[in-house]
């Protein structure tokens, strides 16, 4: 015989769950709430003040029920340190998406947007307090697909008049604690009198922003080092090119520095 107390137990449990939902103690995703694509996101923030222009925000964004959380970098802003990630929290209510940073040197970056798809947000941003207080403008955000693959371009003057450089990238599927996604891989040179090959020693992508450092094997078998800095993807939704600064820290072509565009090699 089933004890008469058993139905009461399940009834109490159900009432407890409903109470949590109604009091807001448990993030509940309603059927009409957007379910955002988890992972690497890029926000392009364009100020209404032409003197400020455009800056980029990017990194990991996660959703649990109606709650958002993430860690991102702000790059190209006059008021935020691009070497310091910021923590973000927010909510999803239907197609309305809002998130804001913690207080960074007295200032808060916030976004209010509409999810046009699960991987695209259109809205506005505001900075309150601190250096950027009062700044606002448009915010276009999207999930950034993995950039794993081969990217190629040409160097001029780095050991030759037309040196071909291919970088094979593998992007981690798991975000680091700072919200970035690690990149590993190797470099291949053709037509260079300086570098033969290279191995990435540290690299990451956060939104559309990339930093890369690699050790190279030089033509005389010595070790060199190159960086690819301040790199931005051309399109966060469908990146086909990246543009940044290539610099030889040491090696046979030491101190060479130039703008470098790499294009995705479609196989």
The per-residue pLDDT for range 49-93, each reduced to its tens digit, is 999 999 999 999 999 999 999 999 999 998 999 999 999 999 999
Q: What is the mean pLDDT of the chain?
A: 90
**Encoded tokens for 254:** 């030491």
Q: Quote the pLDDT of residue 159.
A: 78
Answer whether residue 206 shows pLDDT above 80: yes
Cα(112)–Cα(88) distance, rounded to whole angstroms?
A: 13
Q: Quote the pLDDT of residue 19.
A: 47
- Residue ranges in 118-163 assigned as alpha helix (H): none
**Encoded tokens for 165:** 């450089």
Cα(80)–Cα(208) distance, rounded to whole angstroms?
A: 17
Q: pLDDT tier at 22 (50, 70, 90 boundaries)?
A: very low
Residue ranges, comma separated, of all CATH 2.40.128.120 domains in the chain are 39-143
DSSP class of residue 145 equals P
Q: Quote the pLDDT of residue 14.
A: 44
Burial code of 60-86, b = ≥16 C-beta within 10 A, e = fewer? Answer: bbebeebbbebbbbbbbbebbebeebb
Longest dimension (CA), the chain: 89
Domain 39-143 in CATH 1.10.150.650? The answer is no
Burial (CB < 10 A; 0-12, 13-18, 19+), residue 208, is buried
Q: Quote the pLDDT of residue 240.
A: 97
Indicate yes or no: pTM above 0.85. yes
């Amino acid at each position: 015989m089933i004890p008469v107390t058993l139905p009461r137990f399940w009834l109490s449990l159900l009432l407890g769950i409903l109470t949590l939902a109604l009091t807001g103690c448990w993030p509940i995703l309603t059927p009409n709430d957007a379910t955002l694509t988890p992972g690497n996101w890029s926000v392009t923030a364009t100020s209404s003040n032409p003197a400020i222009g455009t800056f980029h925000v990017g990194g990991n964004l996660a959703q649990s029920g109606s709650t958002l959380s993430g860690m991102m970098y702000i790059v190209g802003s006059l008021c935020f340190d691009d070497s310091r990630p910021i923590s973000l929290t927010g909510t999803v209510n239907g197609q309305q998406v809002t998130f804001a940073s913690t207080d960074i040197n007295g200032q808060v970056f916030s976004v209010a947007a509409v999810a046009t798809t699960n991987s695209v947000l259109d809205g506005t941003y505001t900075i309150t307090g601190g250096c950027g207080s009062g700044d606002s403008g448009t915010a276009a955000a999207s999930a950034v697909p993995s950039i794993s693959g081969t990217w190629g371009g040409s160097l001029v003057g780095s050991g030759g008049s037309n040196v071909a450089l291919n970088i094979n990238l593998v992007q981690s599927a798991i975000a680091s604690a700072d919200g970035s996604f690690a990149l590993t891989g190797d470099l291949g040179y053709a037509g260079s009198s300086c570098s033969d090959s290279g191995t990435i020693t540290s690299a990451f992508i956060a939104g559309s922003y990339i930093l890369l450092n690699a050790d190279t094997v030089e033509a005389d078998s010595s070790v060199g080092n190159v960086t690819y800095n301040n790199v931005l993807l051309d399109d966060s939704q469908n990146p086909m090119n990246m543009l940044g600064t290539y610099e030889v820290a040491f090696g046979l072509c030491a101190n060479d520095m130039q703008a470098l565009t790499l294009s995705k090699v479609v196989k």
